[in-house]
Amino acid sequence: MQLNPQARFEAFLREYRSASGAPTYREKIKQLTVSGSRSLIVDFNHLIAFDPELARMALEHPDRYFTAANQAFKEILKEMDSEYLDKVERVYVRLSSFPEEYRVPLRKLRAEHIGKLIVVNGILVRATEVKPRLVEAIFKCRRCGEQMSILQEERVIITPVECANPNCRRKGPFDLIVEDSTFIDWQKIRVQEKPEDLPPGQLPRSIDAVLTDDIVDIARPGDRVTLIGILRPVPESLVGKRSKLVTFNTVLEVNNIEVVGAEAEKLEISEEDEQKINQLSQDPYVTQKVIRSIAPSIYGYEQIKEAIALLLFG
């Protein structure tokens, strides 16, 4: 039987019910219209339970199936609150709560994962400022004034080949009309392996990832995060030349980001922890112990380690 992704996602969002019998995602969609959010968070375990084939195909062909899921969400939202849909314009289905067996260690990312939906864990070590990204450009022909819309899906701006006006058909020049074009928020981050995942004597590996729209600035450097997204290849170029190499870098196009590490101010200290802290405070060599605990596999650099310790403890 031919699988119709949008119809299956619509059925899932309409029909999936919790143990109490409540329509889980119809209720979530109602809540979204109140909170002003554009993203519907879907538990991947629910999708597996409702339609295992749909879940498997979403992993194998995420581009097609995310488009179908977003369209299904949009159709249901249109029925429930068309005014809200007109207001927010863009809506997204974002997957979460993947079982451990679906997670891929950063060290084991390979060519076979390109174009697939993957789940990675790590520590956020770098985040750029949030920038506007052009997604739909409006160009104006300087000769006849015709305006043309072009979707921007590449890393560089795609301009019209020729004027769309049948009486003109000139090949330019064209001006970008910024005020009429569509932009979304964009942010690039870097996620690195967690210290406990490092093999002995190995340096941590990392991956760059891209966040867009309403998931930018959710996490900050130092947070432990789980990223769900599509692994994309990015061609390498020779330095100072336009020619490209046959090897590629990879970047993760993020569908959802989950902050899994608790911030310091949110940690709850138990009585046992408090006793250990008090004991350490009485130890005259506690400073040296803290300094030696930083990168113990690297010999020397005592002053650098001391500076790091002072930064950590403010």
Helix orientation angle between 24-35 and 62-88, rounded to the nearest 10 degrees: 50
pLDDT of residue 280: 82
pLDDT in tens, 251-261: 999 999 999 86
pLDDT of residue 131: 94
Percentage of the chain exceeding pLDDT 70: 94
Whole-number Å distance between alpha carbons of 201 and 299: 12
Q: Residue 46, CB half-sphere, CA atoms under 13 Å: how many?
A: 20
**Residue 289's pLDDT band (boundaries 50, 70, 90)?**
confident
Q: Where are the beta strands (DSSP E) in the chain?
A: 39-43, 92-96, 117-127, 131-141, 147-151, 174-176, 182-192, 206-212, 224-237, 244-259
Average pLDDT on 295-304 reads 82
**Is the overall model pTM greater than 0.85, yes or no?**
no
**Residue 1's pLDDT band (boundaries 50, 70, 90)?**
very low
Whole-number Å distance between alpha carbons of 239 and 303: 36
**Residue 101's pLDDT band (boundaries 50, 70, 90)?**
confident
Whole-number Å distance between alpha carbons of 79 and 57: 27
Average pLDDT on 77-81 reads 89
pLDDT of residue 241: 60
pLDDT in tens, 109-124: 999 999 999 999 999 9
Average pLDDT on 56-83 reads 92
Average pLDDT on 28-42 reads 89
pLDDT at 13 over 50: yes
pLDDT at 288 over 60: yes
Q: Is 168 helix (H, G, I), strand (E, B) or coil?
A: coil
Q: Worst-scoring range by mean pLDDT, 93-102, 152-161, 238-247, 270-279?
A: 238-247
* Residue 261 or 311, more confident: 311
Within 10 Å of residue 300's Cβ, how many Cβ atoms?
Answer: 7
- The percent of the chain in helix, strand and coil, each rounded to the nearest 5, is 35, 30, 35
- 93, 73 in Cβ contact below 8 A? yes
Longest dimension (CA), the chain: 87
**Residue 6's pLDDT band (boundaries 50, 70, 90)?**
very high
Whole-number Å distance between alpha carbons of 219 and 204: 20
- 119, 227 in Cβ contact below 8 A? yes
Mean pLDDT of the chain: 87
Average pLDDT on 80-100 reads 90
Average pLDDT on 289-297 reads 82
Closest CA to 96 of 172, 25, 8: 25
